[in-house]
């Protein structure tokens, strides 16, 4: 009996691989890291990476992954996350950098690469794509779309695709020389890695054959019987997954997006893309993408920036999870929150600000203390946790106009950050500007008198928020001025533009739901002020 239980557990794990298969690292060149269970470690040939694991390459390093019969080549300075690899669909999220995929799929299978701005979907082909959404097809054809998958085009072999200034996909035919140049770029990079990968695959195949020969026939027969029963169960699960995906796609048709092109405070041309998503029934997500083709810093912190002057993309990603599922239709939300009142709780909130090299993360979780709800928050800088119990010695610095113009800057005192038993001290420098579409500063009078249509006013204003993090020396006396050791942020700063456009779109969509709320004279007896404020 014990033997059969152990065999059943083994087969459960084996059959489950049909739903979530493991991707294998078959070659590495230079330093390559893999994140598993939230921890970064050195990646080695033969290692596996599964759902939500990440691969990251440094300068002059590359990696080759094997997903079934498909190979994914990861260039230097790149980061990619594995999303639910399965027998029927492989999804990879390219966070930064470049990859090339030579896709070989079984009938009906799918392969998809998601970048911060675009999606490439194929059934079998050879293509390269970077995190800016630029796609080159070497063989076959690729379906290329914006991140919301609202507009798509089919890109043929020998062509390039990207998103235009309005965020729509466009295609360009490459000359023979341009295409050959792209081919040479990849070939020169991965010649050595491919040889290592080929040797590893051959060795792996030999080991599999040897293992198969050692299996006993009676055990194999029993395994096959149990496996068949589990496969039938899994087929039913897959059918449910397909239905769930169809429902999710229907819901996403109602998701909201907005976009605006403007000039920031430093004179850079900026495209702001915003999306409101429903990744889960109990979760809402807001994504704000700030894209610039070139970048110049001209803020208060002189000589503080020495990063890229070229193309950059800064992202704000916020997720809020509630204690119960929300209605599918957003128009039902006002009545839902009104009726549920204090019964619906905020379970967690996560906000990540990133320039795709550095991250500023705030994570909050609901806790019940002495019967009362409380939110416990933590802040992470590039994975280093801020020690909230540390008492700063140095003094902070800050300044606002004090007059009519709306801006502010500040330097924090030293903060103690910790990771893996190590300690550092940093100072966070921030500046914020309320601007118009031309980059001019707003004043207090902007919101008093003048334009009487608030929706028109909101379409002409934005907030620019810039964050630097500097590593500093530990101060030795109270109220000391901090001595900067260097940049803690590799990308030097995070520079985001926020507009109220998505809020206007959401408010317009939910407005019709307000009419379904029935107010009564006893409203103050039935609804607390807290529940009304939530509306």
* Chain segment 284-313, per-residue pLDDT in tens: 999 999 999 899 999 999 889 999 898 899
What pLDDT is stored for residue 302 in this prediction?
87
477 touches 393 (CB < 8 A): yes
What pLDDT is stored for residue 511 in this prediction?
67
Q: Which residues pair with 271 in a beta bridge?
A: 261, 291
What CA–CA distance (Å, rounded) separates 187 from 200? 19
What pLDDT is stored for residue 382 in this prediction?
94
- H helix runs in 309-388, sequence order: 333-340
Average the pLDDT over 250-272 and give the result: 78
Tell me the pLDDT tens digit for each residue of 357-389.
Answer: 999 999 999 888 777 778 889 999 999 999 999
Question: What's the token pair of residue 41?
Answer: 């470690």
pTM over 0.85: no
116 touches 289 (CB < 8 A): yes
Question: What's the token pair of residue 380?
Answer: 């992470």
pLDDT band for position 499 (cuts 50, 70, 90): very high
- State the distance between the two ends of the chain, measured CA to CA, in whole angstroms: 59
Percent of the chain with pLDDT over 90: 36
What pLDDT is stored for residue 220 in this prediction?
57
**396 phi, psi to nearest 5 deg:** -90, 165
Tell me the pLDDT tens digit for each residue of 154-202.
Answer: 999 999 999 887 778 999 999 988 898 888 877 755 655 555 555 544 5
What CA–CA distance (Å, rounded) separates 487 from 470? 5
What CA–CA distance (Å, rounded) separates 494 from 391? 26
What CA–CA distance (Å, rounded) separates 329 from 513? 10
Kind plus residue range of the DSSP H or E element containing 510: helix 501-514
Considering just the CA atoms, what is the radius of gyration of the chain in Å?
27
Mean pLDDT of the chain: 79
Long-range contacts of 220-227 (CB under 8 A, 24+ apart): 222/4, 222/7, 223/7, 223/10, 223/11, 226/7, 226/8, 226/11, 227/11, 227/14, 227/15
Residues 6+ apart with CB under 8 A from 430: 409, 410, 465, 466, 467, 468
pLDDT band for position 116 (cuts 50, 70, 90): confident
- What strands lie across the sheet with 32-36, from one edge to the other? 39-42, 32-36, 54-57, 79-83, 89-96, 110-114, 118-122, 141-146, 152-156
Question: What's the token pair of residue 105?
Answer: 């799929």
pLDDT band for position 399 (cuts 50, 70, 90): confident
Sign for the CA dihedral angle at 36, 40, 41, 47 comes to: positive
41 touches 48 (CB < 8 A): no
- H helix runs in 358-479, sequence order: 454-458
Question: What's the token pair of residue 44?
Answer: 């080695």
What CA–CA distance (Å, rounded) separates 495 from 309? 13
Cα distances from 482 to residues 212, 318, 413, 474, in angstroms, run 65, 32, 8, 8
Tell me the pLDDT tens digit for each residue of 61-115.
Answer: 899 999 888 899 999 889 999 876 556 778 898 988 899 999 987 766 788 898 8
What CA–CA distance (Å, rounded) separates 507 from 489? 36
What are the DSSP calls for 173-236, one per residue? EPPHHHHHHHHHHHHHHHHHHHHHHHHHHHHHHHHHHHHHHTS-HHHHHHHHHHHHHHHHHHHH
Question: What's the token pair of residue 289?
Answer: 């993408």
Residues 6+ apart with CB under 8 A from 533: none
Closest by CA position to 155, among listed 139, 176, 175: 139
- H helix runs in 214-319, sequence order: 217-252
Closest by CA position to 135, among listed 150, 148, 124, 146: 146
**312 phi, psi to nearest 5 deg:** -145, 160
Question: What's the token pair of residue 490?
Answer: 């590799």
417 touches 386 (CB < 8 A): yes
Residue with more model confidence, 317 or 86: 317
What pLDDT is stored for residue 146 in this prediction?
84
Cα distances from 522 to residues 339, 473, 518, 519, in angstroms, run 14, 60, 11, 8
169 touches 162 (CB < 8 A): yes
Q: Give the rounded distance of the alpha carbon of 529 from its chain centre.
A: 36
């Amino acid at each position: 009996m014990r033997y059969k239980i152990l065999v059943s557990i083994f087969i459960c794990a084996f059959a489950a691989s049909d739903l979530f298969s493991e991707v294998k690292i078959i070659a590495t060149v230079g330093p390559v890291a893999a994140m598993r269970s939230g921890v970064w470690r050195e990646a080695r040939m033969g290692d596996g990476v599964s759902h939500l694991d990440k691969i990251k390459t440094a300068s002059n390093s590359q990696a080759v992954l094997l997903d079934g019969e498909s190979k994914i080549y990861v260039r230097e300075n790149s980061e990619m996350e594995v999303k639910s690899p399965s027998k029927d669909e492989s999804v990879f999220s390219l966070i930064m950098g470049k990859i090339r995929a030579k896709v070989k799929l079984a009938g009906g299978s799918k392969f998809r690469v998601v970048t911060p701005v675009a999606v490439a979907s194929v059934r079998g082909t050879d293509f390269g794509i970077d995190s800016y959404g630029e796609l080159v097809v070497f063989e076959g054809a690729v379906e290329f779309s914006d991140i919301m998958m609202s507009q798509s085009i089919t890109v043929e072999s020998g062509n390039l695709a990207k998103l235009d200034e309005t965020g729509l996909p466009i295609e360009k035919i490459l000359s023979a020389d341009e295409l050959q140049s792209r081919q040479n770029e990849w070939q020169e990079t991965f010649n050595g890695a491919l040889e290592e990968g080929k040797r590893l695959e051959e060795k792996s195949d030999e080991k599999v054959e040897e293992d198969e020969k050692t299996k006993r026939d009676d055990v194999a027969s029993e395994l096959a019987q149990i496996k068949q029963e589990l496969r039938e169960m899994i087929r039913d699960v897959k059918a449910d997954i397909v239905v769930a995906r169809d429902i999710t796609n229907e819901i996403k048709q109602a998701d909201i997006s907005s976009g605006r092109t403007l000039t920031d405070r430093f004179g850079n041309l900026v495209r702001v893309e915003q999306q409101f998503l429903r990744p889960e029934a109990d979760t809402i997500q807001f994504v704000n993408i700030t894209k610039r083709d070139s970048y110049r810093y001209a803020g208060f912190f002189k000589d503080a920036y020495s990063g890229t002057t070229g193309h950059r993309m800064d992202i704000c990603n916020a997720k809020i999870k509630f204690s119960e599922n929300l209605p599918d239709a957003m128009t039902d939300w006002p009545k839902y929150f009104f009726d549920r009142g204090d019964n619906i709780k905020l379970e967690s909130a996560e906000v990540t600000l990133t320039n795709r090299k550095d991250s500023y993360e705030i994570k909050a979780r609901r806790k019940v203390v002495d019967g009362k709800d409380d939110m416990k928050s933590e802040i992470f800088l590039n994975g280093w946790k801020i020690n909230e119990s540390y008492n700063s010695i140095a003094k902070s610095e800050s300044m606002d106009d004090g007059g009519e113009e709306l801006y502010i800057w500040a330097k924090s005192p030293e903060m103690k950050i910790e990771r893996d038993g190590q300690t550092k001290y940093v100072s966070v420098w921030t500046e914020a500007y309320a601007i118009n579409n031309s980059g001019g500063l707003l004043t207090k009078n902007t919101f008093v008198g003048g334009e009487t249509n608030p929706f028109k006013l909101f379409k002409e204003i934005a907030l620019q928020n810039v964050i630097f993090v500097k590593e500093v020396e530990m101060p030795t006396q109270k109220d000391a001025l901090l001595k900067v050791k260097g940049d803690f942020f590799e990308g030097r700063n995070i520079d985001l533009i926020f507009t109220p456009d998505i809020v206007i779109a959401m408010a317009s969509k939910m407005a019709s739901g307000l009419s379904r709320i029935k107010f009564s004279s006893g409203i103050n007896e039935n609804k607390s002020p807290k529940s009304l404020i939530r509306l």
